[in-house]
Amino acid sequence: MKKPTRKYLLLAVIALGTWVWFRSGDSDEKRIRKCFDRLAECVTKPSGEQSVMMAAKMHNLGNVFADTCYFECERAMMTGDYTPEEVSSHAVRARSLFGDVKLAFYDLNVLLSGEGRATATVTARLTGTMKSGESFQETHELDCVLAKCEDDWRINKVVVVQVLDK
């Protein structure tokens, strides 16, 4: 291999290494992203989900939210303060309506405001099949506030943004 080619390859390897190192860092923003990943994982229900798996997911779901989380989501009839246990029981009831359901988050923008608080804007997309066989699809923009609790980020406030107002 020619010397200039080797030089370019070396530069590419250095750039790739820097990118991997940067991506693998455990920053607050990355922890917040993981928090949303956990939330999506807990809400997602594959068809034929075992009850043991459901119980484990609902337990983990409680760990995603702060001791008190404020919700403003008229569509899901959730407005006010909820404890993690209340959120979990609400999720159990909602999940029971579906044969399968998938929650995915897109375009997560995190803004760290210091003092262990952060705001996040994200698009949440819920797709699935109702028990009746009807397919279901909902997309909403969420404004969230997160609080840092013992090195971990918990969701403290969830407000559904009205993108289209009839």
Partner 1 sequence: MKAGDDSTEAPPRNALSRFFFPSLTPGYVLRVLGIAACAYIVFSRVLIPLHINGTSMEPTYHDRAWNLCWRFRYRSSLPERGDVVVVRFAGMRVMLLKRVVALSGETVEFRGGKLFVNGEEQVEPYVATPCDWELSPRVVEEGKVYVVGDNRGVPMANHKFGQTSVLRIVGAPLW
Give contact residues for partner 1 (rule: CB under 8 A): 1-2, 4-5, 7-9, 106-109, 121-123, 125, 137, 139-142, 163-166
Q: Which is nearer to partner 1, 91 or 110 (CB)?
A: 110
Using alpha carbons, list the distances in angstroms from residue 67 to 62, 109, 148, 151. 9, 23, 12, 15
Which amino acid appears at position 32 of this protein?
Answer: I
Report residue 27 as tokens: 């920053």
Q: Which is nearer to partner 1, 50 or 137 (CB)?
A: 137
Q: Which is nearer to partner 1, 58 or 108 (CB)?
A: 108
For residue 15, the minimal CB distance to partner 1 (Å) is 11
For residue 71, the minimal CB distance to partner 1 (Å) is 18
For residue 105, the minimal CB distance to partner 1 (Å) is 9
Strand 135-149 to 65-73 pairing: unpaired
Residue of 123, 74, 126 lying closest to 97 (CA atoms):
126
